[in-house]
Structure 1
């Protein structure tokens, strides 16, 4: 027996699912979103939003030293991290309520409960406010997201061995923390904890921090993290984890066989994320997965007609904004929207690390350009040549453009420095609009602004940077 019928049933109310539902409503489809927890998903509740609230407060706390340079005396004896935590939870709550408002505004039903596909057009929902019900839909969109990936021997207990959710739940700061993994998540929490005075050590198996970013970016970040007092070991493999009453200890082994050990009060394991594709009824329907990720075509369709999947549950970059865009593409295809585009070009996906300095990037790094055999060149303009950056004491950083040697077509952009996560979009817009560096170089930029660094880098590609 069918209890409710729709044109589209979305499983998951994260940034992929709720955006897809709203876009579907705009295109005239009657849509519902099924969510077993809270609207906003991991991003809104235990990821993007609350973590950025922590990062903002950590940055303010770290600026105390600048106030002292002015002769001010700051008494931090009353500092209470639980109040920092409360602000992050307030941000998460506001985000979730905002999603609920948007769904209601667009006449989208939010159905609580756990979803399981019983056919390509029916979803069984259990454990929700309305009891067990069956939802029928012409189209189903799976947007169930991901969770922190566990590795053997480092299983989460959220007391001593933390996931990203566990560290966001802390109301007291640990005295010391080991972070396993130097990707975006590990680096952001290292920054937060380091700013608040926690003794932080990062352990990374690859040869440098942020190993997926351009090497020049990593070099800048390593220098800045050293200034924060954050220690790091790169090119090492974490071995055994032991728990004691006072904390944890882990063994490490370098590539030349040298062994060391580390002790800390807690450890954060930040080595990637795993897709939430279990218990959805995929096997019964014959929907293929690979390493847990659902297989889809260029319009995010699965093997079953009418069933789509987007976001962290498929093998695309695990980023909230990617999930949102994939949701838009999927529902536009469902609706037969004229001019609907296909799968996202991976070279046009911006990545961001929200530390200080921050990182914004897209397209191939220099290493990747070499591996692809591209006929490329690059130009880097230092933040030290940007007047505004020097005026506000943010002179550490680089704007880097990777381009085709002959045509000067923009291939990639990599920015590390103040406001990098915002600035990188100017280079990306130029690439997407098929503009050349000379178009950016000759566009007037207000002075003094950080964005002048983008202009100067573009001028550098053309051989006439001014402030260097």
Structure 2
């Protein structure tokens, strides 16, 4: 019979859970992971990674359709083969799922496939293919993640009303698509389907798209998406959604209060997430707020030996935040079990970057200009447009800008906000800077390589202090 007693059991194998398990194993702890579906969780199998594969296909299509802008001729009609695009995306997901399977073996982590339910803070049962197993541990980490929130009046059916999961493996190309919600998920799918030639309408309740971003980024993105042919409705709400044989009929109230009925072939709901914290046996063991498990800075719940990380805990609900929490919690557990060489640090939420892979891309870290002012800072902010950057012009990607926000008194970098080509790869420069508690002086003295788009980061810092060289 398989071993059922461990130092640590991790419930859930997404980017929080599997990373926590690996770190526990590295620290010499006997570790098991329980997963009901696929190793790698939503992120690897149905989220972050396969969506990037879809978006890459849409990007290549976009470049092919604009080949003449680069002095190239492509003969014949360029069109998307939806089945092949989806197949490539699923292949990428499968490769990564196999990668996690390999990492579990390499680190000697026991994998129990099945539905895990806690029977106490440090014991659980797993119902799977092998029947029911009873497992115990010194510590348990809950990493059960979250799922898409349904509209109360139109539950996702996979036919006409989709969540991100349906939108990734469409059986047919929508003709006219309604996207409800303009956060990262909504706007990425809107961007993908728009590039694939679909007529897309985005409805956002708040007064601007990607509402967590700096307002200058929101304004720029809305203008860009509108120019690309999307219909963007902000300050608007879907009052009702009726599924018909041919599609969906939506009652949409616009920002002026006018309600109109519009027919769409399909609808994607991207209105937030619900934590997977029901039916896990957590009710008496942890404190919850709207279903999210309340934890301290190291992932401890109110029950000794029971920890939680990732999307089932308070936000931001991002894969990289979950992975970081996974490492912190693993180290905190090792310390409790007597390891004197680990020194876990709590997560600084001000230094968690956010990336949205629409077209153009968005990336940010820290405070927006408005939030910095709200927090009482006297700010210095500067913007540098890509049109002043040689590499961006040479790439044919001169749309975009970098904006930096500093504390006028101390020169501390408070936030950085970018929109344009490859900004999701560049933001890390500012994240490292913020983590090292940089000021404008160090950033100004940093030599940025030429020609790169990253030079616009340097210029935005200079612009914050009235010293930009190329505008």
Shorter-chain TM-score bucket reads: over 0.9
Task: After TM superposition, give the deviation of residue 260 of structure 1 in Å.
Answer: 1.8
Aligned to 1:294: 293
C-alpha separation in 2, matches of 1:20 and 1:437: 35
C-alpha separation in 1, matches of 2:90 and 2:142: 27
TM-score by length of 1: 0.97
Q: State the secondary structure of the residue aligned to 1:118.
A: strand
Q: State the secondary structure of the residue aligned to 1:91.
A: helix
Q: Which runs of structure 2 are paired with 1:236-275 in the superposition (5 Å)?
A: 236-275=236-275
C-alpha separation in 2, matches of 1:170 and 1:439: 49
Instruction: Say if 2:121 and 2:285, in contact at 8 Å, map to a contact too.
Output: no
Which consecutive unaligned segments of at least 5 residues does structure 2 have? Answer: none
Q: Which runs of structure 2 are paired with 1:432-443 in the superposition (5 Å)?
A: 432-443=435-446
Q: Which whole-Å deviations, capped at 9, do the CAs of 1:336-370 have from their partners, x for residues lacking one? A: 15463443221101000012211110111122122
Q: Which runs of structure 2 are paired with 1:69-148 in the superposition (5 Å)?
A: 69=69, 70=71, 72-76=73-77, 79-126=80-127, 128-148=128-148
Check if 1:330 corresponds to 2:329: yes
Task: After TM superposition, give the deviation of residue 462 of structure 1 in Å.
Answer: 3.5
TM-score by length of 2: 0.96
Q: Which whole-Å deviations, capped at 9, do the CAs of 1:60-88 have from their partners, x for residues lacking one? A: 00112321343524433664210000001
Task: After TM superposition, give the deviation of residue 5 of structure 1 in Å.
Answer: 0.9
Over 6 Å off, 4+ runs: none
C-alpha separation in 2, matches of 1:339 and 1:434: 23
Q: Which whole-Å deviations, capped at 9, do the CAs of 1:192-233 have from their partners, x for residues lacking one? A: 000010010000111111111001111111122122211111
Task: After TM superposition, give the deviation of residue 2 of structure 1 in Å.
Answer: 9.7
Instruction: Say if 2:389 and 2:398, in contact at 8 Å, map to a contact too.
Output: yes
Instruction: Say if 1:242 and 1:249, in contact at 8 Å, map to a contact too.
Output: yes
- Note the aligned Cα RMSD (angstroms): 1.5
Check if 1:385 corresponds to 2:388: yes
Aligned length: 466
Instruction: Say if 1:85 and 1:171, in contact at 8 Å, map to a contact too.
Output: no
C-alpha separation in 1, matches of 2:397 and 2:216: 17
Which segment drifts farther, 338-347 or 176-185? 338-347
Check if 1:420 corresponds to 2:423: yes
Q: Which runs of structure 2 are paired with 1:11-50 in the superposition (5 Å)?
A: 11-50=11-50
Instruction: Say if 2:139 and 2:333, in contact at 8 Å, map to a contact too.
Output: yes
Q: State the secondary structure of the residue aligned to 1:144.
A: coil
Instruction: Say if 1:201 and 1:231, in contact at 8 Å, map to a contact too.
Output: yes
Check if 1:343 corresponds to 2:346: yes
Which segment drifts farther, 266-275 or 235-244? 235-244
Task: After TM superposition, give the deviation of residue 45 of structure 1 in Å.
Answer: 0.6
